[in-house]
Amino acid sequence: MSNDKTPVLQQGDRPAVQIDGVTKSFSGTTALEPVWLKIRRGEFLTLLGPSGCGKTTLLNLIAGFLEADNGELFIDRELVTQVPPHQREIGIVFQNYALFPHMSVAQNVAYGLRTRRVSKAEIETRVREALALVKLEDFADRRPRQLSGGQQQRVALARALVIRPRVLLLDEPFSALDRNLRTAMQVELREIQTRLGLTTVFVTHDQGEALSMSDRIAVMSRGRIRQIGSPSEIYDTPDNHFVSTFVGDANLFHATLRKVSGQELSLDVDDTTMALTTYQEHLPAAGPVTLFTRPEHCSLTATGTPGSIPATVALSVYQGSHAELHLDCPVAVGGRVMLRVPSAEALPAGTAVGIVLPNRGPAIFATEEAAS
Amino acid sequence: MRKTFIDHVLDWSGRLLLTLILLFVMLPFIVVAIASFNDSAILTFPPKSWSLHWYANALSYRDFGEGLVNSLKVAGLAAIIAICAGSGFAYVIDRYEFSLKGVLNGVLMSPLIIPNFTIGLGLLILSAAASLPRSLWLVVTVHVIIIMPFVVRSVYVSLRNFERRYEQAAESLGGTPLHVLLTITLPLLVPGLISGALFAVILSFNEFTASLFVVNQSTQTLPVAMYNYVREYADPTLAAISVIYVAVVAVTLLVVHKIFRLEKVLNVE
């Protein structure tokens, strides 16, 4: 884990991991539709999605615990589709850490070096370095069960890193930690990962975690990657209904698309016709659509203001610096929208208001996508 | 909340029922234990005077001593064979899909349905047909067949509950399948294997019906020796040896419990 171990950079933009049309089904049920994905060297890529979306299946395919039905998988440009896990040189940290309970911390960390027949002296040095990296030098002789959750996770990380893996896989590693510890471990892990320049695939269902940690996020649902991009691309410019609601809060309205010219739209919401500019390049055909905005892009105005959407305050939730206003709004998808206002400007329930949409930035999604 | 009168009645009737059930279960042993201290040479109940000389008799009777040695040999050998083969079968059934899996499972479990005397008789006929001697190995074979289903079940349950992530972590760290099996899976399965072996030893030690068919004078196990004794004598020696028998098994279990924590071994934690 010293300085000479920074990953060797190859010329050009050769992906550290390349997934070419990989599919997987379990006894007839499709877990993964054909997936294409290139993970860059040193990149922190997050697979984000609800349970059952195929993210863990994809991780297990990269690790080699599952065999793909179709498609090819490359690690460092080497074809590994048929290569068993123990020859893939991959580090993995599981949700429950899976520390070997019958071994000490040092033995756990040394396991991957023993299998590689590294000399005794070198094992000792590298185990010490790895434990120093995760600040657990003094815990080498403890048993895993004598450690706290956070310490166990560090051991799991040290055990995965000590073999200098080509790819680090993280399977929801933070979900067993309490909130404060989780944040601290996220920062620490990201620091180590950046310092070592380690290609990392991180699986989570927690969108906050994904947004704060990733270089890129692949949002998945129903065995498909629905969008892939930087956290801000995913948050600010979602491609579809699913991504817009799964990542961050979304206010969605029933609307009718009238006219499209380039990225200029004309559409009807309720009885109001509005002109909007979208970031989207692919737009659905004219007709009924779903209009998407983020709460922070919507603003309130007096009820009846021309061009505003009528709504009534249903509930005001105090959140310290700001308040969440939940509004009943007949044209909203689900009949509800949410806005954040400074606490001082919170309105009592029953107040009639108008919602003003931003004229730049919102997106429209084909209505049938609402089903996914 | 204060308990009502009905609650108290239910509470106490429950305890009474439990005590009665326990008494019912223990009754045969209690009667035998009392009878073993009977001074009279005839098994009468309750005893009129007390003595320990039946214990002395039981411990000095040659057939019992030889039977005990045979029983221990058979139980030890049968348990070792059954645990090795049974773990292998359990592993295969848990981990692999193959066309004859149902058949294998059925064959392994069939001794649960086939009566022990049928197994004993079958092996007796077979060994006679193959002109094999009625050696201790024949007894061991019969015992392996009888205890195998229990061993397979016991190890299979441990494998089902086994956290596969341990193996996956070890594999990702470069462990070949064999290395992972030896360094991770087996050490973590030790409680399950001990529980299986424990079942095997106790079942084999208590086995009587099938053994009766395949033993001869020199290979008879302790239960068979006891049966032969009671056919000739009706004194309380048998009661005494029964008490010793129970005591030995109980002490064994206690030791296992002290060393391994029985709840863990028996998977009831």
Q: Which two tokens stand for residue A334?
A: 């689900």
Asked whether the beta carbons of residue A86 and residue B174 sit closer than 8 angstroms, the reply is: yes
Please choose, from the candidates A22, A14, A60, the residue with its C-alpha nearest in 3D space to the C-alpha of residue A39: A14
Question: Rounded distance, CA A121 to CA A87, Å?
Answer: 24
To the nearest 10°, report the CA torsion of A56, A57, A63, A64: 160
SS3 A9: coil
Amino acid identity of A62? I
Q: Check residue A225 and give its pLDDT.
A: 92
Q: Is the pLDDT of residue A15 over 50?
A: yes
Mean pLDDT over A289-306 rounds to 84
CB atoms within 10 A of CB B88: 12
SS3 B72: helix
With an 8 Å Cβ cutoff, is B269 touching chain A? no
Rg (CA), chain A: 24
ipTM score assigned to the predicted complex: 0.79
Tell me how close the Cα of A115 comes to any Cα of chain B, in angstroms. Answer: 6
Quote the Cα angle for B231-B234-B236, to 5°.
125
With an 8 Å Cβ cutoff, is A126 touching chain B? no
Q: Check residue B24 and give its pLDDT.
A: 92
Summarised one tens digit per residue, pLDDT across range A333-365 is 888 889 888 888 888 888 888 888 887 777 888
Which of A:263-292 have CB within 8 Å of B?
none
With an 8 Å Cβ cutoff, is A26 touching chain B? no
Q: Which two tokens stand for residue A283?
A: 């737009």
Confirm if A347 and A353 have CB atoms less than 8 A apart: yes
Residue entry with tokens 């348990």: B79
Mean pLDDT over A216-227 rounds to 92
Average pLDDT, chain A: 85
Threshold 0.95, pTM exceeds: no
Confirm if A285 and A364 have CB atoms less than 8 A apart: no
Confidence of residue A287 (pLDDT cuts 50, 70, 90): confident
In this prediction, the residues of chain B whose per-residue pLDDT falls under 70 are 1-2, 43-44, 261-269
| Spacing of C-alpha A42 from chain mean position | 17
Q: Check residue A13 and give its pLDDT.
A: 62
Asked whether the beta carbons of residue A63 and residue B168 sit closer than 8 angstroms, the reply is: yes
* Residue to test with chain B: of A88, A94, A96, A166, most B Cβ within 10 A: A94
Cβ-defined contacts of B212-215 (< 8 Å, 24+): B212/B117, B212/B120, B213/B117, B213/B120, B213/B121, B213/B123, B213/B124, B213/B142, B214/B120, B214/B123, B214/B124, B214/B127, B214/B134, B214/B138, B214/B139, B214/B142, B215/B70, B215/B134, B215/B139
Burial class (CB in 10 A: 0-12, 13-18, 19+), A257: buried
Lowest-confidence pick of A63-72, A296-305, B119-128: A296-305
Residues counted in chain A:
372
Nearest CA in chain A to B187: A102
Confidence of residue A368 (pLDDT cuts 50, 70, 90): low
Rg (CA), chain B: 23
Asked whether the beta carbons of residue A101 and residue B188 sit closer than 8 angstroms, the reply is: yes
Confirm if A160 and A93 have CB atoms less than 8 A apart: yes
Strand order in the sheet with A224-229: A90-93, A167-171, A200-204, A44-48, A216-221, A224-229
Q: Which two tokens stand for residue B117?
A: 């005397």
Burial class (CB in 10 A: 0-12, 13-18, 19+), A262: exposed
Asked whether the beta carbons of residue A91 and residue B163 sit closer than 8 angstroms, the reply is: no
Residue entry with tokens 């195998």: B148
Nearest CA in chain A to B189: A102
Query: Count of CB contacts below 8 A, A vs B?
Result: 65
Q: Check residue B268 and give its pLDDT.
A: 46
Q: Check residue A4 and give its pLDDT.
A: 39
Question: Rounded distance, CA B224 to CA B206, Å?
Answer: 10
Ranked by mean pLDDT, which of A13-17, A43-47, A128-132, A139-143 comes out on top? A43-47
Q: Check residue B261 and give its pLDDT.
A: 66
Residues of A in contact with B166 (CB under 8 A): 98, 100
Find all residues with CB under 8 Å of B105, minimum gap 6, and list them. B93
Largest Cα–Cα separation, chain A: 79
Question: Rounded distance, CA B146 to CA B223, Å?
Answer: 16
Question: Rounded distance, CA A275 to CA A273, Å?
Answer: 7
Which of A:83-122 have CB within 8 Å of B?
84-92, 94, 96, 98, 100-102, 111-112, 115-116
Lowest-confidence pick of A75-79, A102-106, B107-111: B107-111
